[in-house]
Structure 1
Amino acid sequence: MALSGLAAGTLAGCGKGYTAQEPNNPRVGDFGVPSWLGEAPVIEESLITETVETEVLVVGVGTGGIPAMISAAENGARVLGIDRQNSPRNVREDIGAVDSRLQQASFEEFPQFRIDKTNIVQEIATYANGFVNYDLVKLWANESGAMIDWLTDIIQRDGKMVMEFEGGVGNVDEPGIRKAFATGHSPQPTELADEEWGFAESILAYAAEQGAEVRWRTEFIKCEQDESGRVTGVIARAVDDDRHYLRINASKGVILSTGGYGNNLEMMEDRQPWNQKLRIAAPGSGGNPTGSGIKAAMWLGATIDPIGAAVTFNRACVKPDQTAGDGVLGRWFWFGEQPFLKLNLKGERFCNESGPYDYMLHAAYMQPHHTYVDIWDANHAEQAEMMDEVGCCRLFPFDNGARNNIPMAVVDGMIEKLIEDGYVQKADTMEELAQKLNLPVEATVASWQRYNEFATNGEDTDYWKEPHRLLPLTTPPFYGVRTGAWFLATIDGVSIDTNMHPTDADGNPIQGLYLTGNDSGGFFSVSYPNLMTGLACGRTMTFGRRAGMLAATGQA
């Protein structure tokens, strides 16, 4: 049933946020706007030495941009994508949707996987504390299933990939703080795929098969408009060679999908300083999102969400003499999302460890140095399976047999490497572990003993953790590590309507321009609903597909 009415990607932007010279207010620049925004750069005509003509231009060839390119090309447009990278970076592979063919085929055997659209839309709005455009959330609920079916047909066309539905909602008798929804879909390679072939390669190759072209190493500078205010194209710049400027005219429309602003530290400090204090810089793949798409739309008069938001996972760690915070270099810690015992730096338990990823991190923000410690024991693999996690952190196959992202055996190898490099600590007693982690020994041992008493009794009278995840930690060796936030992406952005147009302060659309992915807003705020696996990616791809169709056909 359709409801009535109507986030990663790869960066294609350039530079750092503009900073006004010695503003009176550090958050307000010389132009009366946030100092990271500034004014659109003025590029002299004499510096523009190349002109390119196309019909639909997609800025950012990633999670949202590639579906937009495919959709526009399938609908008959001449399509060009540009990106400052030389290949797609970090195209997301957990894709959230409702009522795909794969989901519907599972309902007879697994009725608990069925999703009520009204319920999930309301749940998304609740996570955001109401700071959503309900019509956008309904649009995702109504169109995401068809988007997955479309992608499934694309990636399975040559037998090298298969789409799997990640069927799992955890323990339905003890659901915990928030309900989980079986939304996740994951493209997986078959035996016909070589090591170089994956989801990004498959969909980008299909875009080329449809006639779409890509111009790599080309960075986006700003949009251009005609006298009526319609966006007619962009000014871009070659990353390599002579760094010349070029004008790209797009007669049917420009789609921005540049990936948010996670690497623009000025925007981060202004929009969401709390996440900067939780953040640990863990090396990984991805683009370099600097907010170029958001700023470009705002230069045209578009508005932005009132509150910054991000996808943050408790998957980063530091050494025992370090604490979380922007500028701190740590390591990726995939095991961190398992809800084992977690203590603050005073050796005290402070919340229910089981729940949405950023709930744990938000609770940690309220603790000293915004850092906590994960503790587990020799039985961690068996216990992780009993905990029955869902989504990308699941370490075992899903209920319906679908493959999980990373197997437990691989995670154990990661842990061993972290021990070797001085991050994870290992000890035969809890006293020794506390000393190695620079925690107060007496308080740590007391918290551990109390937790084990709760596990033995099957009831957590301090923080009400569900019994199937309240498991004793009594078998040495014991392990521990200091943990903080691994930052995936910003998910607040420019206000858009259901035609993917950015809107101004009066709610009027900016014609000729479309936004998708983490450049667009109105969908997330405060907290990311990670118990709806792949929601950010599903929104991005659903809206990218829609933007491509609308731009190519001129329907809106």
Structure 2
Amino acid sequence: MSSNVTRRSFFKGAGLAAMGALTAGTLSGCGQGYAAATPANPSAGDFGGPSWLGAPPVIDEADIAETIDTEVLVVGMGTGGIPAMISAAENGAKVLGIDRQGTPHNVREDIGAIDSRLQQASFNEFPEFRIEKKEAVEDIVRYASGFVSYDLVKLWADESGAMVDWLTDIIQRDGKLVMEFEGGVGDTSDPGRDKAFATGHSPQKTDAVAEDEEWGFAESILAYAAEQGAETRWYCEFIKCETDESGRVTGVIARDVQGERPYLRINASKGVILSTGGYGNNLEMMEDRQAWNQKIRIAAPGSGGNPTGSGIKAALWLGATMDPLGAACTFNRACVKPDQYAGDGVLGRWFWFGEQPFLKLNLKGERFCNESGPYDYMLHSTIMQPHQTYVDIWDANHAAQAEAFDEVGCCRLFPFPNGAKNNIPMQVVDGMIEKLIEDGYVQKADTMEELAEKLNLPVETTVASWKHYNEMAAAGEDTDYYKEKHRLMAIDTPPFYGVRTGAWFLATLDGVTIDTNMHPCDENGDPIEGLYLTGNDSGGFFSVSYPNLLTGLACGRTMTFGRRAGMLAATGQA
């Protein structure tokens, strides 16, 4: 947990040198109390600000090899950046997008929204899919324990449906993709503690490109941005923002990451939109902002960007403030071998099956919580357990049981009730499990005693926990932790399977304070003009837990706000 970071706390005092002299000359004279030693080479991070923040780099004018003029500059061509580019271009602006990578990476495809055309068309057949905005907004606030801006949450609720309609028209323009509404809310006859909302939308390939692995959602919307006149510059790394005398952002300093790595100045007369993706790969920021999530994190190889907090730091250097609490989107989709524990630095494997609410035990062989609910509830409970690691246990009936669980969102392994495709089918997941068995992660056994031994669990306690769980399943009631009856099923048919599980880390969710015009705000709540933030650079929307039962909420928020930022920058409305 960290206190708010602001430019005032960052540069507090009459200058670093003066502050160093002050601490050396006065604090050491305060009786026998603690006196901080003056750093040999003081930096702003040594006085009131976190060390990861540092100071904006000083770039010599002689090192700037190129100047580019545009109207709207989008930094980061991903989930938020590409919609921002499209929106700005559609509203008549000259648009340039830059990204330090060579292609768009990990553009998300589960898009959360309320009142899209696709949703509304389903209500006659599936009235349970209808969403009351008030209920959804209040549930998001509940997940965050109130650490949110109501106005931002309501903005998503009010504008996300139109955003999805807009995206639907874009991706269906050439017959290559179709948008599907992921209609599902779970078993309403046996509701659990947490309500699911049918918010998810997902682009799917048509037969026209079914076999084309080079074409997908990211390629479609990026191509449309180009059709609208937006330009791109890849392998171009953002360094910092530039401002005029009034403090308005006028452009950025960037750097080519190939060849001789020259610096360039990009002037953006109408605005700069930062969408650089949070700070998940900045370990210093992670340890400072959310050390608890590092304890359950397993590094699972996968594709994606390399978010280092560059956009967040750039806004803070200009005087912006940041959310008071670190937060992340963590899924229980990573595993380690039986002699390993979860934790930062541990290399494990992708385990998509981990979100299914089977029996889960700690490393003492004890059940410790309700396995059914938001993904990170399970993980947060795990933080309270030995070595922040738990074990998933299932049996030969796992496919039928997974279907009966009636999950929603991206962990669903079977088509949705309205016929929409799920992300990954059960057959593919079974193949993943077999590979994990071959590689020594998932263990397989004919008895629970043997499985416990293979997982390095106490045999007697593990077997007792398993038998008690099956007894409750037979009775139809979880008297320990109150799991829903339809997700409380006996694990009694060999072979038995088990694996040590922890958190797969999707993204950081805390960010810079913004207003509803997407401007970062200073400590007085005043906007920093000329600058807009979207995606995981921005804050005010999530905290404590990610509301994954509103499928695609993070992506929907990012795309809704990216679209809005592009429009506002291009038109000058705010």
Pairing partner for 1:238 from 251, 256, 267: 256
- Higher-Rg structure is 2
1:491-538 deviation line (CA, Å, top 9, x unaligned) = 100000000000000000000000000000000000000000000000
Q: Which residue among 402, 410, 419 is the counterpart of 1:384? A: 402
> TM-score, normalized by length of structure 1?
0.95
- Equivalent residue number for residue 343 of structure 1: 361
Structure 2 letter corresponding to 1:464: Y
- Residues 82 and 221 of structure 2 are in contact (CA less than 8 Å); yes or no, is this contact kept in structure 1? yes
CA contact (8 A) 1:23 1:30 kept: no
Indicate the residue corresponding to 2:266 in structure 1.
Answer: 248
Indicate whether 1:321 and 2:339 are aligned: yes
Deviation at 1:49, TM superposition (A): 1.1
Counterpart of 1:135 in structure 2 is 151
- 1:93 corresponds to: 109
CA apart distance, 1:29 = 2.4
Candidates 133, 140, 145, aligned match of 1:124: 140
Partners of 1:81 and 1:149 lie apart in 2 by: 23
Q: Does 1:43 align with 2:63?
A: no
Take 1:386 and 1:118, find their aligned partners in 2: how far apart are those partners?
A: 30
Which of 279, 294, 314 is the matching residue for 1:276?
A: 294
For the aligned residues, what is the CA RMSD?
A: 1.5
Q: 1 CA distance for matches of 2:487 and 2:124?
A: 28
* Correspondence for 2:477: 459
Aligned residue identity for 2:540: G
SS at match of 2:252: strand
Q: Which residue of 2 aligns with 1:180?
A: 196
Q: Does 1:149 align with 2:170?
A: no
Q: Which moved more, 1:28-37 or 1:218-227?
A: 28-37
Between Structure 1 and Structure 2, how many residues are aligned? 537
**1:525 correspondence with 2:533:** no
Structure 2 residue 100 is matched with structure 1 residue 74: no
Q: Which residue of 1 aligns with 2:127?
A: 111
Task: Return the alpha-carbon distance in structure 2 between the equivalents of residues 79 and 31 of structure 1.
Answer: 39
Q: What residue number does 1:7 align with?
A: none
What is the match of residue 192 of structure 1?
208
In the superposition, the TM-score normalised over structure 2's length comes to 0.92
Aligned to 1:540: 558
- Cα separation, 1, equivalents of 2:317 and 2:346: 33
1:501 corresponds in structure 2 to 519
C-alpha spacing 1:436/1:430, structure 2 compared with 1 (3 Å): same
Tell me the equivalent position of 1:5: none
The 5 Å alignment of 1:210-221 reads: 210-221=228-239
Deviation at 1:103, TM superposition (A): 0.2
Kept in 1, the 8 Å contact 2:252–2:267? The answer is yes
SS in structure 1 of the partner of residue 239 of structure 2 = strand
- What is the CA distance between 1:175 and its match in structure 2? 1.9
How far the C-alpha of 1:32 sits from its partner, in A, is 2.4
Q: 1:23 to 1:365 in 2, by over 3 A?
A: farther
Q: Who is 1:483 aligned against?
A: 501
Whether the 8 Å CA contact 1:27–1:270 is kept in 2: the answer is: no
Alignment partner, residue 428 of structure 2: 410
Cα distance, 1:23–1:358 mapped onto 2, change above 3 Å: farther
Contact 1:31 1:38 in 2 (8 A): no
- 1:398 maps onto 2:416 in alignment: yes
1:45-71 CA-to-partner distances (Å, cap 9, x unmatched) read 111110000000000000000000000
Gaps of 5+ in 2: 1-15, 21-35
Asked whether the equivalents of residues 23 and 29 of structure 1 are also in contact (C-alpha less than 8 Å), the reply is no
Cα distance in structure 2, aligned partners of 1:284 and 1:290:
17
Residues 1:169 and 2:185 aligned together: yes
Give the match for residue 32 of structure 2. Answer: none
**For the residues of structure 1 that align with 2:408 and 2:467, how far apart are their CA atoms?**
28
CA distance in 2, matches of 1:382, 1:453: 20
Does 1:419 find its partner at 2:437?
A: yes
